[in-house]
Amino acid sequence: MSPQTLRIVMNGVTGRMGYRQHLVRSILAIRDAGGVDLGDGRRVQVEPVLVGRNEDKLAAIAKEHQVNEWTTDLTKALASSPDIYFDAQVTSQRYTAIKQAIAAGIHVYTEKPTAETLDEGIELSRLARDAGVQVGVVHDKLYLPGLVKLKRLVDSGFFGEILSVRGEFGYWVFEGDWQQAQRPSWNYRAEDGGGIVVDMFCHWSYVLENILGRVTGVTAKAVTHIPERADEQGRTYKATADDAAYAIFELEGGVIAQVNSSWAVRVFRDELVEFQVDGTHGSAVAGLRNCVTQHRANTPKPVWNPDLPVTEPFRDQWSAVPDNADLDNGFKAQWEQFIKSVLGEGDHPYDLLAGARGIQLAELGLRSSAEGRRLEVPEIAL
């Protein structure tokens, strides 16, 4: 028996995230493996419908990957009774497109941030609830092997009482003049939806909420370290958005999370993001893939003496947490979970309200920075 096929309208597939992570590494990988295994012998197949602004680029992608349907007309794509609408466009275009998909009664899966303002984010969540469509927002960091292991440690009670978190995210993004930038130029223009606070605080919101506790207070300083950059055509432009943010998040239960996010920092770390969690009984450092721990019984007793060279091999005193599971690409794993939930098989909890909480944290972070003060993060409800 041939498997059921879900048609997925994918908007923004010529972009960095839309092409690599969502089309190639998720939907085409699922399609080429024969679909999603529903666990009871049944499989559901997927077929993308590519949507974008540039017909030639879409046609080239379609040809390279044997995709039959593509169009530059979103309205037409939505009118063709697809099962799911997916959005990986630039953030500024998302709200209108998702609204259109919900109005057409189509399930929605989307990149973050879900909209440009909290009001729009909440409105989308309300509209989806009222229309009865399923919604999912990319929460990819939760599926990273390193963070899966960190969550496992929290659930096991390994830490005792959790005291604090120190997160370090970032790398050097070239200015675009003498070496091409490795991120799109709109990321550095506030008027185009750019900025590291808007980009990363929605990630920190769901990472902290799902692993350590909801964020209840924020103090942040957002800055633009590199004021001028060169775009994809080599033209100089003014960077109007923040490229670094230094934040303190207070979590439910009293945990303090201090997270640095920067596109103007050089890496002297094992991974591009790392979180150190310290608790009364043990500590852990989790990155994208790896996670190491130190239990209180294995904790050395360093003595501060600047007159002597370092005697302890500190990094060697930590133990690796094993995978103990097949940890697939996080984007693909989340797609599979969302697809199953659309078919009524299992739960996909990361919805548009979770997406709105991410926008809320970004808005409050920017306000905290502008006003130079700590702000409460109130709970939002529909």
Ligand X SMILES: NC(=O)c1ccc[n+]([C@@H]2O[C@H](COP(=O)([O-])OP(=O)(O)OC[C@H]3O[C@@H](n4cnc5c(N)ncnc54)[C@H](O)[C@@H]3O)[C@@H](O)[C@H]2O)c1
Residues near ligand X, by CB under 6 A: 12, 14-18, 52-53, 88-91, 93, 111-112, 138, 140, 184, 199
Tokens found for residue 183: 């991120």
Residue nearest to ligand X (CB): 15
- Indicate the residue among 106 and 200 with the shorter CB distance to ligand X: 200
Output the smallest distance, CB 100 to ligand X, in A.
14
- Indicate the residue among 234 and 344 with the shorter CB distance to ligand X: 234
- Indicate the residue among 199 and 351 with the shorter CB distance to ligand X: 199
- Indicate the residue among 53 and 76 with the shorter CB distance to ligand X: 53
Output the smallest distance, CB 365 to ligand X, in A.
15
Those residues whose C-beta lies under 8 Å from the C-beta of residue 286, and which sit 6 or more positions away, are 146, 147, 149, 150, 274, 275, 277
- Indicate the residue among 158 and 206 with the shorter CB distance to ligand X: 206
What is the rounded CA–CA span in Å between residue 270 and residue 255?
25
Output the smallest distance, CB 111 to ligand X, in A.
4
Tokens found for residue 175: 């200015």
Q: Other CB atoms closer than 10 Å to residue 221's CB: what's the count?
A: 15
- Indicate the residue among 134 and 185 with the shorter CB distance to ligand X: 185
What is the rounded CA–CA span in Å between residue 274 and residue 237?
31
Output the smallest distance, CB 275 to ligand X, in A.
16
Output the smallest distance, CB 263 to ligand X, in A.
12
Output the smallest distance, CB 19 to ligand X, in A.
8
